[in-house]
Amino acid sequence: MNQTLQLIIFAVLAGVVLYQLYSVLGRRVGRQPEDAKREALAGKGTKPPSAEPEQEPLPDGVVLTGLAALRARDPGFDVGAFLSGARSAYQRVVSAFHEGRRDDLKPLLSPPIYDNFEGAIGQRETQGVTETVEFLQPPRADLESAHMDGDQARVVVRFLAEFRARSKGPEGEAIDDRRTAELWTFERDVTSRDPNWTLVHVDAAEA
């Protein structure tokens, strides 16, 4: 009888111990694999955070200058495209000037610059001199500066060029290989629908 009672007590104690072990071993501790799957499913359709934060407005009183001011007024301004167009304009102007093609010059130059170029062309014609020009290699064009003056955008480009000028006149023919460094100032009204820039000033520059 005592032995039977002891067996019953041991069985009850063993059941209690096994229950406690099961309670501990069966408890979910930490992040489970199914948690990751559930989170992934829940995350579908949610918008990821933006990679580029929204630009904050400028504080009151801040005034943009230089290229930033130009782009603020003309968001479509692209430096690469502009320099490509300026390089093309440079070659056209230089060629037209040496060859005396006034009609090609006039749309590209401001009236004062055109008058100066036209005067030099007229002087050559009076002397009976004709010229042609050949670029030995494509000219180099670099952005020197940019700024806004009211609605007028002004961009200064530094040109480095090598070309060969051939002249013919009463004294015979001559060939002149030249290396030039010049600063050309282009201007455009940003409120105008005309996208073309006009040459308004030419200065000599250091190579």
* CB atoms closer than 10 angstroms to residue 85: 16
pLDDT one-digit tens code per residue, 29-85? 344 444 545 544 444 444 444 333 343 445 555 568 899 999 999 999 999 999 999
- Give CA 60 to chain center in angstroms: 26
Do the domain assignments include residue 194? Answer: yes
pLDDT digits (tens, 9 = 90+) for 120-161: 999 999 999 999 999 999 999 999 999 999 999 999 999 999
Encode pLDDT of 176-205 as tens digits.
Answer: 999 999 999 999 999 999 999 999 999 999
**Can you give the pLDDT at residue 186?**
98
Give the pLDDT band (50/70/90) at residue 7: very low
| Residue among 125, 144, 124 at smallest CA distance from 201 | 144
For residues 174 and 166, the answer to whether their CB atoms sit within 8 Å is yes
Contact 181, 205 (CB under 8 A): yes
Return d(Cα 74, Cα 68) in angstroms, integer.
Answer: 10
CA–CA gap between residue 79 and residue 199 (Å, rounded): 17
Q: What is the mean pLDDT of residues 105-115?
A: 96
Does a structural domain hold residue 34? no
- As to burial, measured by CB atoms within 10 angstroms (0-12 exposed, 13-18 middle, 19+ buried), residue 89 is buried
Residue 110 falls inside a structural domain: yes
Say if pTM beats, i.e. exceeds, 0.85. Answer: no
Which residues, other chains included, contact 87 with Cβ-Cβ below 8 Å and sequence gap of 6+? Answer: 138, 139, 141, 159
| CATH number where 140 lies | 3.10.450.240
Per-residue pLDDT of 161-178, as tens digits, reads 999 999 999 989 999 999
pLDDT given at position 117: 96
Q: Is 85 in contact with 108 (CB distance < 8 Å)?
A: no
Per the domain annotation, does 38 fall within a domain?
no
Predicted local distance difference test score (pLDDT) of residue 63: 63
What is the structure's pLDDT at 179?
Answer: 94
Q: Is the pLDDT of residue 26 over 50?
A: no
Query: Does a structural domain hold residue 132?
Result: yes
pLDDT over threshold 70, residue 27? no
Tell me, yes or no, whether 51 lies in a domain: no
Domain that holds residue 193: 66-204
Residue 171 in domain = yes
Report the number of distinct structural domains present in the chain.
1
- Is 15 a domain residue? no
Which residue, chain included where needed, has tokens 């290989």? Answer: 177
